[in-house]
Amino acid sequence: MEAVVALALFALGALVMFDSARIGARWADDGPQAGYFPFYVGLILCAASAVTLFTDLRRSLARGHSFVSIGQLRLILKLLVPFAVFVVAVKPLGIYVASAVFIAYFMMRVGEFARWLTVVVPVGTVVLLFMMFERWFKVPLPKGPLESLLGLG
Amino acid sequence: MEQFASLAQGFAVAASPENFVLMLVGILLGVIIGVLPGLGGANGVAILLPLTFSMNPTSAIIMLSCIYWGALFGGAITSILFNIPGEPWSVATTFDGYPLAQQGHAGIALTSAFTASFVGALLAVLLITFMAPMVANFAVRFGPPEFFSVYLLTFCAFIGMNRGAALKTIASMTIGFALAAVGLDTVTGQLRLTFGFTEMLKGFDFLIAVIGLFGIGEILLTMEEGLSFRGGKAKLNLKVVFDTWRELPRYWATSLRSAAVGCLMGIVPGGATPASFMAYGVAKRFSPDAAHFGKGKVEGVVAPETAAHAAGTTALLPMMALGVPGSPTAAVLLGGLLVWGLQPGPLLFIEQKDFVWGLIASMYLGNIVGLFVVLSGVPLFAAILRIPFAIIAPVILIICAVGAYTVHSSIFDIYLMFGFGIVGYVFKKLNYPLAPLVLALVLGDRAEDAFRQSMLLSQGSLAIFFGSAIAGVLTTLATLLLVWPLLAALLTKVRGAAARS
């Protein structure tokens, strides 16, 4: 994993250098051009990642410990996947509906909660959020079809 | 002593009823943020920042800085009661705080931690009160080259002080610089690193990065430990508080030393976290029975808490006087200043007297209020931790998403935050420090502008960075700090070789 990240950062650095070279990374008469700073930033990033990659390759031959265990990964994905769905759902559904579904789903997925709790907690949280943002602080959040149906949007 | 008159005026501003209420609300929110995993000073303030856009700047900064004090106080509660540091800077507090709690002395540990925080903050605010006008006078003489050398010093200090992971610090910082460069170049008007995407035109907002990197990343890390979030009971009665207070003056030397470490680390951008570890180490070295550290020693709680609070407070001084934040949270507050239309820097002290001294006065009041709120609220805050993590986790993620959205009312920012969250998790696992990334993202553009303006002044000669006494000293110091890890490594090698022969 260490190596993968180092490689990715190396690629990012190279990308930055490439784009900076396109708009001019030289030292003009009146000082640096627009791409001058980013170019060298990219170069340093590449160099630092290359060294990290190199030392890691040398070290990983001696060491067997892994980045994340399967059990840990499963736990994280249990939260991350529904969150990713939530992030995508904000646009079509509005943030309130998406939030309620996200909390309810996660509570059910984890289990150990009574059925009524998995309804009351999400709805309560969302109502509280709605009051706080739309009413007290007057900050409108993205809303979807349900809100316009209820005449709140 | 004109600062006394200014300070008195500041108290009048800060103590107005509505500001006082905001202060209370801020402290309460802050402690809750500090207690909950995944929400911390930096991203807590970042999430709540958009809510204050409509307030007047003085009230807004009073509330936000009180959230920050609250978070500093709150981190100690979970460290002591549950051995879970709510904040990175309270990791060192767990070393002795949790053993004390296990021995049944949770009350003593909590009271010591809160009081130590309070003392640390108070000493730091005193320092700010006396130094602020001086720093401001000094800073009036700053031009682009001087500003660039300050930025340079900030960046080099980060690389030099993170021993062991200098390469990762550099990598993290350069990513910040690269992200800061995205968008319209302010000098030539050219587009940089946008690759034809219109969403990237306005560049990356560091608030989004902070919320993703710190908030989402932290929740994922906590999730890794599983859902078993142990709750516990805690109560704090007055007798224990007074008994502990009677005992604490014995540790005055530890307090002073820790406060000194903290103040230094706050002004030189190091931040609260390294300060707390350093103070713990120093206290251990100076203590007559160092062997008892880590087994429940009150000094071991006092030292890191004093230093963390002192550093957290003094980090605001360079932020106000120079526009150079000493910590990620100070960086977020700096972003707030810009949004409210205040230009941080020496002129702030002349043109916005009410604002500056209102803030300084609120540091005094906020910490006094904070001390009472946390002492009386421990059972309440411990109860929050009894809410199952299965509910807390999605709620915090949603709050992060809402916070990211409200910065620019843009749904695209939620996607960005998600991406930053994954990056934050991976970076934390691999020990890439996140603070340099955030600081580079905030300061990158300004550093580059300062550099290019200096180049215009000097017609492309680098000698301008040694052209004035201030710039010369700062640049030299920065260079020294930058090569310090190399020098230190070289020294140990030479010494090792000498010892062998």
Torsion of Cα atoms, B355 then B357 then B361 then B363, to 10°: 70
Nearest to B7 by CA among B191, B157, B132, B175: B132
Mark whether A40 and A100 lie in a shared domain.
no
Asked whether residue A27 carries a pLDDT value surpassing 70, the answer given is no
Higher-scoring residue by pLDDT: A9, B470? A9
Number of helices (H), then strands (E), in chain B: 22, 2
Residues B26/B67, Cβ–Cβ less than 8 Å: yes
Predicted confidence at residue B231, as pLDDT, reads 46
Q: Please give the Cα distance from B150 to B161 (Å, whole number).
A: 16
**Is A56 part of a structural domain of the chain?**
yes
User: pLDDT class for A98, splitting at 50, 70, 90?
Assistant: very high
DSSP for B63-121 reads HHHHHHHHHHHHHHHHHHHHS--SSGGGHHHHHHHHHHHHTT-HHHHHHHHHHHHHHHH
The Cβ-side half-sphere exposure at A98, using a 13 Å CA radius, reads 24
- Reported as a single tens digit per residue, the pLDDT across B442-460 is 777 778 878 878 877 777 6
A28 has which bridge partners? A31
The answer to whether residue B408 neighbours chain A at the CB level (below 8 Å) is: no
Mark whether A8 and A44 lie in a shared domain.
yes
User: pLDDT class for A83, splitting at 50, 70, 90?
Assistant: very high
**Is B155 part of a structural domain of the chain?**
yes
Q: Please give the Cα distance from B171 to B148 (Å, whole number).
A: 21
A49 CB neighbours in chain B (<8 A) are 171
Q: Going residue by residue through chain B, which has 501 residues, state the pLDDT in tens, using 9 for 90 and above.
A: 567 777 787 787 777 888 888 888 889 888 888 777 667 677 788 888 877 777 788 888 888 888 888 888 887 887 787 776 666 677 788 788 888 887 878 888 888 888 888 898 899 988 888 887 777 777 677 778 888 887 887 777 777 666 556 778 888 888 888 888 887 776 666 677 666 666 666 677 778 888 888 788 878 887 877 655 554 455 667 777 777 788 778 888 888 888 888 887 777 666 677 778 778 888 887 877 777 787 778 888 888 889 888 888 888 888 887 777 767 788 888 888 877 878 777 778 777 777 888 888 888 888 888 888 888 887 777 777 777 778 888 888 888 888 888 878 888 889 989 999 998 888 888 888 887 888 788 777 778 878 878 877 777 677 777 777 777 877 887 788 777 767 777 777 777 777 666
Mark whether A11 and A56 lie in a shared domain.
yes
The answer to whether residue A63 neighbours chain B at the CB level (below 8 Å) is: no
Residues B263/B314, Cβ–Cβ less than 8 Å: yes
Mark whether A49 and A109 lie in a shared domain.
no
Asked whether residue A96 carries a pLDDT value surpassing 80, the answer given is yes
Q: Tokens 């005055």 belong to which residue?
A: B252
pTM for the whole structure? 0.77
**Is B307 part of a structural domain of the chain?**
yes
Nearest to B179 by CA among B187, B171, B169: B171
Mark whether A132 and A108 lie in a shared domain.
yes
Predicted confidence at residue B389, as pLDDT, reads 78
The answer to whether residue B238 neighbours chain A at the CB level (below 8 Å) is: no
Round the average pLDDT of chain A to a whole number and report it: 79
CB contact under 8 A, B171 and A45: yes
**Is A52 part of a structural domain of the chain?**
yes
Which domain range does residue B213 map to?
2-227+237-500
Mark whether A48 and A74 lie in a shared domain.
no
Strands (E) across chain A are located at: 27-28, 31-32
- Packing angle between helix A70-93 and helix B389-408, nearest 10 degrees? 50
The answer to whether residue B228 neighbours chain A at the CB level (below 8 Å) is: no
**Is A65 part of a structural domain of the chain?**
no
Name B16's Cβ contacts closer than 8 Å, sequence gap at least 6: none
DSSP secondary structure code for residue B103 in this structure? T
The shortest C-alpha distance from B452 to chain A (Å) reads 6
Predicted confidence at residue B418, as pLDDT, reads 93
Name B96's Cβ contacts closer than 8 Å, sequence gap at least 6: B109, B293, B294, B295, B296, B297, B298, B299, B300, B301
| Residue B346 identity (one-letter amino acid) | P
Q: Which chain A residue is nearest to residue B166, measuring alpha carbons?
A: A48
The answer to whether residue A44 neighbours chain B at the CB level (below 8 Å) is: yes
Nearest to B386 by CA among B235, B233, B215: B233
Q: Please give the Cα distance from B255 to B241 (Å, whole number).
A: 18
In the three-class reduction of DSSP (H, G, I as helix; E, B as strand; rest coil), residue A24 is classed as coil
Task: Give me the mean pLDDT over the A68-90 stretch.
Answer: 86
Mark whether A143 and A85 lie in a shared domain.
yes
Which domain range does residue A138 map to?
70-150
**Is B232 part of a structural domain of the chain?**
no
Q: Please give the Cα distance from B460 to B338 (Å, whole number).
A: 30
**Is B210 part of a structural domain of the chain?**
yes
Asked whether residue A147 carries a pLDDT value surpassing 70, the answer given is yes
**Is B290 part of a structural domain of the chain?**
yes
Number of helices (H), then strands (E), in chain A: 6, 2
Say how many CB pairs under 8 Å bridge A and B: 160
Mark whether A54 and A98 lie in a shared domain.
no
Mark whether A85 and A145 lie in a shared domain.
yes
Q: Please give the Cα distance from B346 to B336 (Å, whole number).
A: 17
**Is A116 part of a structural domain of the chain?**
yes
Q: Please give the Cα distance from A106 to A82 (Å, whole number).
A: 8
Predicted confidence at residue B189, as pLDDT, reads 66
Q: Which chain B residue is nearest to residue A124, measuring alpha carbons?
A: B395
Give me the number of domains chain B comprises: 1
Mark whether A79 and A50 lie in a shared domain.
no
The shortest C-alpha distance from B398 to chain A (Å) reads 7
How large is the C-alpha radius of gyration of chain B? 22
Predicted confidence at residue A45, as pLDDT, reads 83
Give me the number of domains chain A comprises: 2
The answer to whether residue A136 neighbours chain B at the CB level (below 8 Å) is: no
Torsion of Cα atoms, B108 then B314 then B207 then B225, to 10°: -30
* Domain boundary residue, one of A28, A60, A92: A60
A9 CB neighbours in chain B (<8 A) are 171, 175
The answer to whether residue A107 neighbours chain B at the CB level (below 8 Å) is: yes
The shortest C-alpha distance from B167 to chain A (Å) reads 5
The answer to whether residue A142 neighbours chain B at the CB level (below 8 Å) is: yes
**Is B23 part of a structural domain of the chain?**
yes
Mark whether A56 and A74 lie in a shared domain.
no
